[in-house]
Amino acid sequence: MPHKMKMKSLLKNRKISKSEAALTSKKLLEVDLDTIEGIEDSPQVECQRQKRRLKIPEKIKTLDFKKWQKNSKSPETPKVELDFNGNLEQNRLAEAQQQLVEAEESLFSSEEVARTEAEEDKVHKNCEIFIFQLRLAIRDSFSEDNQETLKSALISILKEEAQDRRWAEVAKDQRPIWRPTRCRKIHEDSLQIIVKQRMKNADEQENKADNLSSSLKREVCRMGIQVQKDLLRVVRNLRECYPPDFDICRTYIQLYHQAFSTRLQELARSNISLEECLYILSWIVDYYPKDVLKHKELEEHINSSSLGPLLPEEDLKRLEDQYLSYKENEVRKWLSNAFEKEVKKWSDDIEPELMDGYYFSNFAVDVLPLVDGAVKDVNTLLSSERKACSLLNQLDSFLLSFKTSLEEFDWKNRKKQENIPKTLSANLVHIYQFRDYVQNPEHPFSEDTRTTCLSTLADLKNICHKYFLSGINKELKPLYRKLWTQVWFAGHCEVVEELVKALENNINNLKELKPVCREELLAELHAEVMAEYVRRMMKRKLKLKDKEQQEAAAEFICHDSNTICSVFSKVGSREEWLGQILPKLSEILRLQDPGSLQLELVTLARHYPDISEQHVLALLKLKTNLSSSDVCRIKGCLSENRGTLDTESPTSFFSKIIVKWKII
């Protein structure tokens, strides 16, 4: 015999994995023949040589696994000496796997060891039985009575991985035909089967989804509930059974997410109703992210960004477009139906409702909450302000139709003419309500749509104002004709008092307008009265020949301004700037020095940049004692300085006054 012989171990130069975590042999038995050097061959030596074999490690431990096992709350299984079949019957898969490895090593540890085909078949058969039992243990993971069996199965998987790696270093023709067993892959495949089956069976379970209106909605709801329920069991129970490197929470989350996603794609691509479309979107946007992914017990174990979307972009866009199209049609229908009812009230001469002393229409109150709710629904469900804006575009086209109907309606031939101002008063109320809604920056109008809507609403308001103001102006017109005439100059107090009395009577007739509507109408009336007063001045019906007449006229103007403005002030007009116009014009009449007059006109142009050259010349023509050269000099100075004037106010007033005749 050789002086020294050692059996080569399969453990030589093997790689150590994370799962093994420094897996080492506690005691390795080695046959050393140095002690029998020089001994002649004998029956005892031959017997020793026949029995010679390499012993496998007596005990294999994984440090990470040992640490996990130490922290496990489950009691240690008492050690019972059972054979392979006995261990399997007792669901002690780790012990059965250890016996299987020992039998395997006894057959394949050396080429010199004789092994029969029957012995190899027996180990192979036992290996298949073990794998079968392993699958059963994994597939029964969610059974509460299976937790100890699952832990034992996981120990055996780690050991099988280690054994696969050992045999990977040996030539294929020298290793067992069942190696590698790939138990980790078996575990992963089994989990996929578990998840697929549990998601399939979810549709057969009774729960709160039974009250939903369609089979699709019930299926989606049950699957979503199943995902949450099973993931909670993974976190609460199964997680404790697994070693850390299995990362079992992440694995299950990905499998359930993928299973849910796959089924939702199939459903989304079928011919689904609008309600079903909305329900799927609700799960994608609301229920699944909030109730599942953000559940307080699951959130720390889930990396939402790594999961990906439940639906591909193409499928999601198709559902979103279907939902958005429905919402657009819904808003259009609401507006159209409500407006048809409103116009019918006009045609039927139905008197509007009187509430809190003013006439009122429910039109905007009924419609706007519906529109706003639809906008919020779309913004929330689709997370797209741009798509929410498309709903508000319906408001733009509706307001244009409203304007056309209001303009073309035959108000003159109404049987009950007394209802017209009441109807228009009610219209002003909802016009202002629409305007407030459009102006609110919280509502997601595009800038173009907001601008267009506000412009249309301004036109609608002007249509109503025109009706009220045309009647008032018709009554005041004879009184306006007396202004700036010899009658006015001789007894201006009587003329103005008559005008004021007529104003007060007409203003009193507007008391059934809602205060905010009344205030804007009175502001417009105030501006028109002041503009008409100045227009009468510039008609030159009265010629002021000398200083005394000009100073008297200046005093009359100031008195008239105070009298007229006090009327509007009492009824709530806030247009205080209108009270400053006539006093400024009176100063032009009072001044006699051309230089001072020139400065005053420059100041007037600064305050009212819309004053034209014709307006200035009309004012100067009132002063008949002013020479033509002075007029030309003042005109030239104003023209030179107009481009450099720093205007203090964008207020438009003189543009309302048209000087019809040309002044040379």
How many Cβ atoms are within 10 Å of 341's Cβ, its own excluded? 12
The pLDDT value given to residue 79: 58
pLDDT-derived band at 170, boundaries 50, 70, 90: confident
Rounded to 5 degrees, φ, ψ at 539 are -80, -15
Report, as an integer, the average pLDDT of 392-406.
91
Confidence check: pLDDT of 42 > 80: no
Confidence check: pLDDT of 492 > 90: no
Residue range 510-550, pLDDT digits in tens: 988 999 999 999 999 999 999 999 999 988 788 888 889 99
The pLDDT value given to residue 202: 82
Which residues, 6+ apart, have CB-to-CB distance to 645 below 8 Å? 602, 605, 606, 609
Which 3 state secondary structure label does DSSP give 234?
Answer: helix
The pLDDT value given to residue 38: 32
Residue range 239-262, pLDDT digits in tens: 999 999 899 999 999 999 999 999
What's the CA gap between 139 and 212, in Å, rounded? 31
Most confident among 113-117, 257-261, 443-447, 541-545 (mean pLDDT): 257-261
User: Distance between alpha carbon 144 and the CA centroid of its chain, in Å?
Assistant: 42
DSSP string, 430-449: HHHHHHHHHH-TTS---HHH
Confidence check: pLDDT of 15 > 50: no
How many Cβ atoms are within 10 Å of 192's Cβ, its own excluded? 13
Confidence check: pLDDT of 417 > 90: no
pLDDT-derived band at 3, boundaries 50, 70, 90: very low
Paired tokens of 475: 């009554």
The pLDDT value given to residue 111: 66
Contact 572, 508 (CB under 8 A): no
Half-sphere exposure (Cβ direction) of 620: Cα atoms closer than 13 Å: 25
Confidence check: pLDDT of 301 > 70: yes
- Name the more confident of 426 and 41: 426
User: Distance between alpha carbon 595 and the CA centroid of its chain, in Å?
Assistant: 65
How many Cβ atoms are within 10 Å of 611's Cβ, its own excluded? 20
The pLDDT value given to residue 209: 67
The pLDDT value given to residue 347: 86
Report, as an integer, the average pLDDT of 8-23.
33
Contact 648, 607 (CB under 8 A): yes
Task: Give me the chain's average pLDDT, please.
Answer: 83
The pLDDT value given to residue 37: 32
pTM of the model: 0.70
pLDDT-derived band at 206, boundaries 50, 70, 90: low
Confidence check: pLDDT of 203 > 70: no
Confidence check: pLDDT of 291 > 80: yes
pLDDT-derived band at 433, boundaries 50, 70, 90: very high
626 CB burial (10 A radius; 0-12, 13-18, 19+): middle
Half-sphere exposure (Cβ direction) of 444: Cα atoms closer than 13 Å: 19
* Closest to 31 in 3D by CA, of 60, 1, 4: 4
Q: Strand 358-360 and strand 353-355: pairing?
A: antiparallel
What's the CA gap between 36 and 7, in Å, rounded? 16
Report, as an integer, the average pLDDT of 253-274.
94
Confidence check: pLDDT of 435 > 90: yes
The pLDDT value given to residue 116: 85
Confidence check: pLDDT of 414 > 80: no
The pLDDT value given to residue 204: 66
Paired tokens of 377: 């629904």
CA distances from 251 to 306, 383, 572, 637 (A): 12, 29, 72, 87
- pLDDT-wise least confident of 325-329, 439-443, 647-651: 647-651
